Amino acid sequence: MTDAPRDPALVTTATIETQLAHRTFRAFTDQPIGEDVAATLLEVARHTATSSFYQQTTIIRVKDPTIRQEVFESSRQPYVGGNRGELWIFVVDLHRNAQIRRESGVDTEPMERTALFLEGTEDTLLAAQNVVVAAESLGLGTVYLGSIAGDPRRVIRALELPALTYPLLGLIIGHPDQEPQLKPRLPREITTSIDTYPEVADYSAVLSDYDEVVHTYYDLRDANHRVDSFTRQIRTKPGTGRAEQAPILEVLHEQGLLLS
Ligand SMILES: Cc1cc2nc3c(=O)[nH]c(=O)nc-3n(C[C@H](O)[C@H](O)[C@H](O)COP(=O)(O)O)c2cc1C
């Protein structure tokens, strides 16, 4: 694991050390994570902060190989198939609260609003990230899977997701079977600021050193090639992946979400 020299001003704790050592893992041994660990991670997720106390998220552990195969077909990323690591799906869930309202004859229109969907999305992402930090603190590795959105209807069908739900992210949690490098991030000066937006006049100039650092990053997914510089990735990549070309808004509307 290599990284730029650490800022000596940083204060650290065991939690912060875990967070600063974050890497995505895409290869896992066949050792299961264990029911005690799974239960612990689900408990961590349950304790995550939740917007307006609505608790609009549901986590589905995928154990049935035929369902995992369906998620793989949607994602098409090799590590999603097979049985290495445990696959969890983080679902934005406005269905549960709609049902609670229906049971009392209260209308469910608020659940169709963008604001409520965003709140559910916030809950879901925070729960997922809490699980990732906890898993990493236990020495496990994880990979988020935005790629499950390659064919979202397929995932919705496979998991029998009702209206007012959406499978936002997959996550594989497992025992690492590779040793990825730390992936260099954009400089703090341009991604954080005080009081006002940190506008930059010429990103290519400001990011030339960072571009070179990214270019030397060794991506285990394609070990034979240096990765493109960051600015080149941004020029060429957005919009090209399957998930970025999928009819997401259409599917969200079919699920009864984001209607107003
Ligand atoms: C929301 C989200 C979705 C992601 N989806 C995928 C994915 O579908 N497949 C994958 O291999 N990695 C995925 N990643 C991992 C990113 O590629 C990874 O975090 C990024 O390249 C930085 O590398 P690092 O996590 O090792 O620092 C995702 C990450 C996030 C935060």
Dump pLDDT digits (tens) for 224-256.
778 999 999 999 999 999 999 999 999 999 999
Say if residues 112 and 257 touch (Cβ distance below 8 Å): yes
Alpha-carbon distance 77 to 167, whole Å?
17
- Return the pLDDT at 226: 83
**Total Cβ atoms within 10 A of residue 28:** 24
Distance 142 CA to ligand 1 centre (A): 9
- Return the pLDDT at 3: 58
The pocket around ligand 1, CB under 6 angstroms, is made up of 22-24, 26, 77, 143-147, 169, 180, 183
Alpha-carbon distance 216 to 174, whole Å?
27
Alpha-carbon distance 199 to 140, whole Å?
38
> At 1, is the pLDDT very low, low, confident or very high (cuts 50, 70, 90)?
very low
pTM attached to this predicted model: 0.97
| Residue 166: C-alpha distances to residues 10, 64, 156, 253 (Å) | 38, 20, 7, 10
Residues 156-166: what's their mean pLDDT?
Answer: 98
CA angle 174, 125, 83 (to 5 degrees): 25
pLDDT at 132 over 80: yes
Q: Could you tell me the two tokens for 214?
A: 């990214």
Residue 5 burial by Cβ neighbours in a 10 Å radius (0-12, 13-18, 19+): exposed
Distance 110 CA to ligand 1 centre (A): 32
Residues 116-143: what's their mean pLDDT?
Answer: 98
pLDDT at 129 over 50: yes
Report the CATH number of the 22-180+247-254 domain. Answer: 3.40.109.10
Domain ranges of the chain: 22-180+247-254, 188-234
